Amino acid sequence: MARVTTSPTFKRLPRAVREQQMLDAAVRVFSRRGFHAASMDEIAEDAGISKPMVYAYLGTKEELFIACLHREGTRLMEAIVAGVGTDLPPDEQLWRGLRAFFGFVGAHRDGWAVLYRQARAQQPFAGALATMRERMVEVIGTMLAQALAAEGREIRDMDLEVMAYALVGASESLADWLADRPDADPDKTATRMMNFAWVGAGQLLHGETWPPAPLSP
């Protein structure tokens, strides 16, 4: 009696590969629908895999989303760090960082920006988000701190933090702007952001603050 082991086409892939497939699918679906509107069914189907597998590999829906966030966030960070380089003047560093950031966002229009936006709206992800943001603020803060050190000046930590937040916020806003406009050019957007950020930040770093003279209360 003949053996009937029809080779199951493309099955039994190693775990690591399967996980990436799932994450790809999850990122797609979460971006397309938003966290809540995304259903585990759709994700599993989009991944070409059965639901229990998703649970077995990546855990609950929240954990799955966090996994997406992590992977995409890490990729973004890597892109930025790789773009920034080392031992360059701070403005060049910032410029390269921004260009990398907008380049990445522009290239993954369905990924990072949307996930991030989602995460900010769902409280369960406060933790994961805080982590991400700290990483970003740290990267930017470090740059700024180096620049200040180079100038021999100092700045209070909280001011630094706020400035970093403002920068990140402005960048996020433009990232949204960019994500909504398929024809827009990431590099030009980066330039505009740089102008906005640096000429301002630059002056600040030189010690000039506003207002020139004290103002209302």
- For residue 212, the minimal CB distance to DNA (Å) is 52
Cα 75 → chain centroid = 8
In this structure, what token pair is assigned to residue 36?
């809540």
Q: What binding mask, one character per residue, do residues 106-125 give for a second copy by CB under 8 A, x or -?
A: -----------xx-xxxx--
Residue 37 within binding range of a second copy, rule CB under 8 A: yes
Cβ nearer to DNA, comparing 49 with 77:
49
Counting contacts by CB under 8 A, is residue 45 touching a second copy? no
User: Smaller CB distance to a second copy: residue 43 or 174?
Assistant: 174
Scanning residues 10 to 39, which ones bind DNA (CB under 7 A)? 11-15, 18, 37-39
The three-point CA angle 207-208-212 to 5° equals 140
Q: How many Cβ atoms sit within 10 Å of the Cβ of residue 93?
A: 21
Interaction of residue 14 with a second copy, rule CB under 8 A: no
Looking at this protein, which amino acid is placed at residue 143?
A: M
Smaller CB separation from a second copy, 104 or 118:
118
Q: Find all residues with CB under 8 Å of 184, minimum gap 6, and list them.
A: 106, 177, 178
Identity of the residue numbered 46: D
Separation of alpha carbons 41 and 50, rounded Å = 8
List interacting residues with a second copy (CB under 8 A).
33-37, 91-92, 95, 117-118, 120-123, 159, 162-163, 165-174, 176-177, 187, 189, 192-204, 208-211, 215-217
